[in-house]
Structure 1
Amino acid sequence: MAPGKLRFRICTAAALGSAAGLLTLAVPLGTASAQPSGPAPRIRQTVAPITTPNRVLEEALRQDLFPAAVVDEQGHGPDSGTAEWRQAEIHQRRNACRAAGPLRYAYNRIDLNGDRQDELVATVIGRHTCGTGGCNAYVFQSGPQDRGLRLVSRMSLFKPPLVVSDQRHNGWRDLITRVRIDAGHGYYARLPFNGRAYPSNPSTPPAEPLRRALPGLALLDTDDDSSPSHPLPCDRTTITAPPRSL
């Protein structure tokens, strides 16, 4: 193990007899690739990503990653909502997805706004969504009666894990993530909710460097080789909402 690398072993839900799979920690979070300057968050618990694929989430991710333009520049094309329109949209999205190369996603459920309904946080891993600065991360809210998901925030340059603080802004819990400056340097940034969304880029305002070691939960720990992730398929599958126990 490289100096300064803290590795967290995550117990599965089956091993712990619960849906979350929690490991209590009381140490700051570290990284081998870049030694962050300034304070680090104090991890109270690490929550393993969910082991069951989520078809509703997969569809939401495909729609965000591969937007389809069914009509041409002159506005010619099938009428919106028709079977022809839907087939053209599916065809375009599938082709764009296949051209992007293999993608995987990991996700967790957590109540971010205190309404006793879990939001979904997710990250997508692959050459299409990741670079030296990090990968894409998302926050979704469930739609009415668990039908579909509403995108709350999309974040670029995400470095796992995602730390969820107890501190709140506009009713939503602050998020904390790492920011890479170069191969050997970085820092932790705090992302407050502005009433509509979280900052889309942790390296620019309104995100700001973490000023004290806030406690929180660590999610989406895809740096741990044992963390579960799922292939993001390009072909549309039957969409059913997963049980709430997940």
Structure 2
Amino acid sequence: MTESDRRFSYSEIDLNEDGKNEILVTMKGSYYCGNAGCTVYLLDNKGTKISGFTIVDGPVVIANSKTKNWSDLIIPSRGVNYLVKFDGKKYPGNPSMQPKFDGNIPAGLKVVLPNDAAVYTF
């Protein structure tokens, strides 16, 4: 893996209202990204992996709705927004296999992993 493959951005947000932030990490570089998008990991507040998402091509939006006490996520993949719901243990890994989020994303929803987020190297 090259140094340019060891880049990432992250955002913290409490997705399950337990008072502890979960961490969303988007990986950068050709090792983790292809022409359709990049890999994103969801970690708990101690850094343990909860879910991994493939083919994510933009910012993740936190929906107003919840499933099993976890916020639903609006995840773009291949130019389409998908509504991704927690199944009780994790979120499904391939957003494009989930229901499409039709219509415009309502103003005021929290955006995480914005395109202009700071980039770090590990």
Q: TM-score normalized by structure 2?
A: 0.89
Asked if 1 retains the 8 angstrom alpha-carbon contact of 2:50 and 2:90, the reply is yes
Q: Does 1:141 align with 2:44?
A: yes
Match for residue 85 of structure 2?
192
Amino acid at match of 1:166: N
Which residue of 201, 208, 229 maps to 2:119?
Answer: 229
Match for residue 9 of structure 2?
106
Question: Structure 1: where are the runs of 5+ without partners?
Answer: 1-99, 144-148, 181-185, 233-246
Match for residue 127 of structure 1?
30
Asked if 1 retains the 8 angstrom alpha-carbon contact of 2:39 and 2:53, the reply is yes
Amino acid at match of 1:112: L
> For this pair of structures, how many residues does the alignment match?
118
Distance 2:23 2:104 in 1: 25
Instruction: Give a deviation string over 1:109-136, Cα, whole Å, max 9, x none.
Output: 1000011111111101011000011001
1:35-54 residue pairs with structure 2 within 5 A? none
Q: Does 1:209 align with 2:96?
A: no
Amino acid at match of 1:174: D
- How far is the alpha carbon of 1:106 from its aligned partner? 0.6
Distance 1:126 1:187 in 2: 22
- How far is the alpha carbon of 1:214 from its aligned partner? 4.8
Instruction: Give a deviation string over 1:79-109, Cα, whole Å, max 9, x none.
Output: xxxxxxxxxxxxxxxxxxxxx2222111111
**What root-mean-square deviation, in Å, do the aligned CA atoms of Structure 1 and Structure 2 show?**
1.4
Q: Does 1:153 align with 2:51?
A: yes
Distance 1:169 1:140 in 2: 18
- How far is the alpha carbon of 1:211 from its aligned partner? 3.0
Inter-CA distance 107–125: structure 2 relative to 1 (3 Å threshold): same
**Which has the larger strand fraction?**
2
Q: Secondary structure at the match of 1:142?
A: coil
Asked if 1 retains the 8 angstrom alpha-carbon contact of 2:58 and 2:77, the reply is no
Inter-CA distance 150–171: structure 2 relative to 1 (3 Å threshold): same
Q: TM-score normalized by structure 1?
A: 0.46
Distance 2:91 2:50 in 1: 8
Whose radius of gyration is greater, 1 or 2?
A: 1
Q: Does 1:166 align with 2:64?
A: yes
Match for residue 179 of structure 1?
77
Q: Secondary structure at the match of 1:195?
A: coil
Amino acid at match of 1:194: D
Percentage identity across paired residues of the two chains: 29
- How far is the alpha carbon of 1:208 from its aligned partner? 1.1
Amino acid at match of 1:169: T
Instruction: Give a deviation string over 1:204-243, Cα, whole Å, max 9, x none.
Output: 1xx2101344532111112x3xx311012xxxxxxxxxxx
Amino acid at match of 1:171: N
